[in-house]
Structure 1
Amino acid sequence: MIESVGPGPSTRLFASLRRRDQRTKAELYLRGLLATEGRKSVRNMSASLQGAGDGATEQSLHHFITSSTWGWRPVREALAGTLADRAPQHVWAVRALPIPKAGTHSVGVDRLYVPGLGQSVHGQLAFGLWYAAEGRTTPVDWRLHLPASWLDDARRRARADIPPAAVFEDLDECAVALALGLPARTGTRRPVVLDHVAARPGALTATLARADVPFLARITDRTPLTAADPALPGAGAGPLPAGRLLQAVRGLGRPAHWPDPAGRPARRTSLVAAIPVRAGRSACGHRPLVLLGEWDDIRRPPCALWLARVPGASAGALLGMTKLAARVAHDGESLGDRVGLRDFEGRSFPGWHRHMTLASVAHAWSTPEPAPATELGYEFSLSA
């Protein structure tokens, strides 16, 4: 874990909270997230903190999250910087987090389609930016998707305290805005793995390329791509489905070994192939990307397809980055549930962000220190 939860506030993570009472309440809320069994509501956390405060603890914590003036962005930036300093060999992983809700008053609640689930849910949909390294996954930033039904309703906006700058974004735009935000503000330039199937992969990858951000973006086998090497099968035929391009070159694939986050078995082997392509139907003149395919069974179609732009990275290194992001799906979110990532019961936009910030800190506190990178085989480099 980053550091023990002692009697005083974290000097680095909570340094932006200028008032001592705010830092004390942040520490108290953090203890509640870590100590409370079950749902991490303010009421439940206050009950688990008997002896930590007087009878006004619940009201005090509620006010600290929903109505206080402290900013959540500096805390998230301090958390990201602390993690990046400890393990430079990491990626930033973007992943959707559906938050089911029974009611209609929580900010952003609607009937929403979640691509990763392949179905609609009633609730909130957020995108998390996760620090992903060997042995550790930790969320460091969040972006709540706000449907038009909230942004176009002045009364709802006012009640939820949605800032005037908030405008409608589709899911791709929401994911990309998150990927481009905190890493740029903190100067922690690392590959971004978008574990989100884009509706418009050409536009998404073009935005990231223009920002000069190294990335891997998950795609489907139906994504139209153009072979960029005239020696490849399908070159000159125009846009073809990504799955078809990869099936034509699977004979060029090479085995790559990687540690299974589930540990069953400890190490696994996939076949990987990487070819240069251009994205979209008007791909002429655009800088080539890399289409990465992974097979767990050579007799079947690829089990995962990615578009990548990470200068200097081999196919094996690219696969390693996707496996770091896969840790988020395997163990990051389960621990996230234990520290309350889905448990905020308030209705306001600032309150949701403050809760998610402290739940992210609790997640980092709850994660054991990772093993040395050289023991697990995820080594990769990033060229300038």
Structure 2
Amino acid sequence: MGTLTTAPKTHHEPANSAEWHIAQEVCASVLASLRRRDQRHKGRLYVHGLLTAQGRKTMRNLATSTQEPAAAQSLHHFISVSTWDWSQVRTSLARQMERVMTPHAWVVQPMVTPKTGVHSVGVQRRFIRHLGQAVTSQHSHGLWLAGQNSAAPVNWQLSVDEDRPSGMARGAVPEVSSGSRTYDDTAISVVLQAASWGLAPRPVVIDARDLPSAPLIEAFTAADLPFLLRVGSHTPLLAPELSGGQRRVLSASAEHLTMLARSQQRPVEWVDPAVPRVLRTGMVALLPVLWPGISVPRRPRPDRVSPVESMRSGGADLLLMGEWQPNRRRVAELWVTNMTRASRGTLLRLSKLTRRADTDFTRICLDVGAQDFEGRSYEGWQRHMTMVSLAHAVRVLRRESQDRGEAEQSG
């Protein structure tokens, strides 16, 4: 898990008839929100190119795969100059994928795209924790619908800080707050945008070790969304139940609190999303905690509540989940959640969906051009990533169709 960066691309043969049939269906349904016929046609060409072009998905490579004269110019115009609304296309895609995938969570994943120059939109030099060095790169977040078997991105937001590229209109970048859109803002906005699309609320799962967690907690609480945030070992928390009757609530790091609660460890089995059919075991402990400086409101417990609300409500403001690997003393992962009624198994399995998104990013999303956009406009990046999401959805649906066919044959 962790920040998504460049990885070796897997090789795919040109789309077979089954994949092309699925692509036609997905494009016909999702691109119906585009009012102009020529835009719908270019959208299908672009997705076809992402699925079939070999190597980097440059305009020239995409155009070559279409076998249409002047395709490079028309596709460039479709992505970088046209005025179609990517949010409508993403809304349609998200609703369709929600129906066919029945996701368990909204996983928010960072994407770091290394760049050799500084002229592309959103390029900055940032320190990347897991690489241990500063990298000149674009920084963005994607929202993925994630289940046990598949994950698909349906929304993207690019970090564009105060050093806005020349020629980019201020109105071109939707604002989250009074300031410019920063890397911290993108993780919040990518969720709140999707929440406005009429999707069924799902737990928001984020590895937040590189983000300030307090704004995430406040934003998702205000939006009435369940969340599960991975935090760092030194994250300060308050533990009322470990105060030993003292007036002052115990304040300590997340790692220290889980060590005090090790007696509550219980084994939980989970199927690794990254390695199909591999069953693993984690030792899990849960501890009620408070986040310093944030008051997370309690809600009355109605007699009848939805499955999501039943996970959110409870007597404690938040829960701290610690996971240990068997026979290891130091805690491996630390998560904070407002789903205070959820079981150890539910929370642990939700946390593992970041591995599902990581896996499908590497195996599918990179191959259909997630890090190949070379333009300089914010709008162009957003439209390219929208088409990448469509191509990724086609690959996911093809894989699920193939898995169903194999299951029927073996049955």
Q: TM-score, normalised by structure 2?
A: 0.81
Equivalent-residue separation in structure 2 for 1:284 and 1:347 (angstroms): 42
Worse-matched range after superposition: 176-185 or 360-369: 176-185
Aligned-residue CA RMSD in angstroms? Answer: 2.7
Q: 109, 115, 129: which one pairs with 2:143?
A: 129
Distance in 2 between residues matched to 1:237 and 1:77, nearest whole Å: 45
Letter in 1 for 2:128: V
- 2:387 alignment counterpart: 358
The letter for the 2-side match of 1:242 is: A
User: Counterpart of 2:318?
Assistant: 289
Aligned to 2:13: none
Q: Are the equivalent residues in 2 in contact too, given 1:161–1:348 (CA < 8 A)? A: no
Partner Cα separation in structure 2 for residue 232 and residue 74 of structure 1? 54
Aligned: 1:68 with 2:89: no
CA drift at 1:134:
1.8
Q: CA deviation at 1:164?
A: 7.2
Q: Which residue of 1 aligns with 2:57?
A: 40
CA deviation after TM superposition for structure 1 residue 2, in Å: 9.1
What is the aligned partner in structure 1 of residue 250 from structure 2? 238
What residue identity is the alignment partner of 2:387? L
Q: Report the AA paired with residue 291 of structure 1.
A: L
Q: 1:161 to 1:184 in 2, by over 3 A?
A: closer
Q: 1:188 aligns with which of 200, 209, 226?
A: 200
State whether structure 2 residue 188 is matched by structure 1 residue 157.
Answer: no
What is the one-letter code of the residue matched to 1:250?
R
1:339 aligns with 2:353: no
Q: Any gaps of 5 or more consecutive residues in structure 2?
A: 1-17, 299-316
Distance 1:223-1:170 versus aligned 2 partners, 3 A rule:
farther
Q: 1: CA distance between counterparts of 2:288 and 2:376?
A: 47
**Structure 1 residue 191: Cα displacement:** 0.5
In the alignment, which of 259, 262, 269 is matched to residue 274 of structure 2?
Answer: 262
Closer, same or farther: CA 74–14 of 1 in aligned 2, 3 Å:
same
Instruction: Structure 1: state its 5+ residue gaps.
Output: 376-384
> Who is 1:378 aligned against?
none
- 1:380 corresponds in structure 2 to none
Matches within 5 A, 1:201-212: 201-212=213-224
Report what 1:25 is aligned to: 42
Residue 326 of structure 1 corresponds to: 355
The aligned residue for residue 106 of structure 1 is 120
- Per the alignment, residue 369 of structure 1 pairs with 400
Bigger mean CA deviation after superposition, 70-79 or 263-272: 263-272
2:319/2:340 contact within 8 Å kept: no
Counterpart-to-counterpart distance in 2, 1:332 and 1:233: 48
1:251 aligned partner: 263
Q: Provide the C-alpha distance between the structure 2 equivalents of 1:336 and 1:251, rounded to a whole number of angstroms.
A: 42
1:349 aligns with 378
Task: Determine the structure 2 residue equivalent to 1:276.
Answer: 288
**Paired amino acid for 1:138:** A
Q: Please state which structure has a larger fraction of its residues in helix.
A: 2
Q: Provide the C-alpha distance between the structure 1 equivalents of 2:115 and 2:337, rounded to a whole number of angstroms.
A: 35
Q: Please give the alpha-carbon distance, in whole angstroms, between the structure 2 residues aligned to 1:291 and 1:79.
A: 34
Give the structure-1-normalised TM-score: 0.87
Question: Is the 8 Å Cα contact of residues 258 and 322 (structure 2) preserved in structure 1?
Answer: yes
1:9/1:27 contact within 8 Å kept:
no
Counterparts in 2 of 1:131 and 1:43: CA distance versus 1, 3 Å = same
Q: State the 1:184 CA deviation.
A: 2.8
Report the AA paired with residue 227 of structure 2. Answer: F
What amino acid sits opposite 1:72 in the alignment? W
2:27 corresponds in structure 1 to: 10
Question: Residue 93 of structure 2 corresponds to which residue in structure 1?
Answer: 79
> Matched residue of 2:270: which SS?
strand
Which residue in 2 is equivalent to 1:379?
none
Q: What are the Cα deviations for residues 126-158 of structure 1, in whole angstroms up to 9, with x where unaligned? A: 1110111121111110000012222xx6x3434
User: Structure 1 residues 312 and 300 mapped into 2: Cα distance closer, same or farther (>3 Å)?
Assistant: same
Supply the distance in 2 between the matched residues of 1:310 and 1:325 (Cα, whole angstroms): 17
- Percentage of identical aligned residues: 38
Structure 1, residues 230-251: CA drift from partner, whole Å, max 9, x if none? 5779994532000000011112
Alpha carbons 1:40, 1:343 under 8 Å: kept: yes
Q: 1:120, CA displacement in angstroms?
A: 2.1
User: 1:200 matched to which residue of 2?
Assistant: 212
Supply the distance in 2 between the matched residues of 1:341 and 1:234 (Cα, whole angstroms).
Answer: 53
Give the Cα separation in 2 of the matches to 1:258 and 1:9. 32
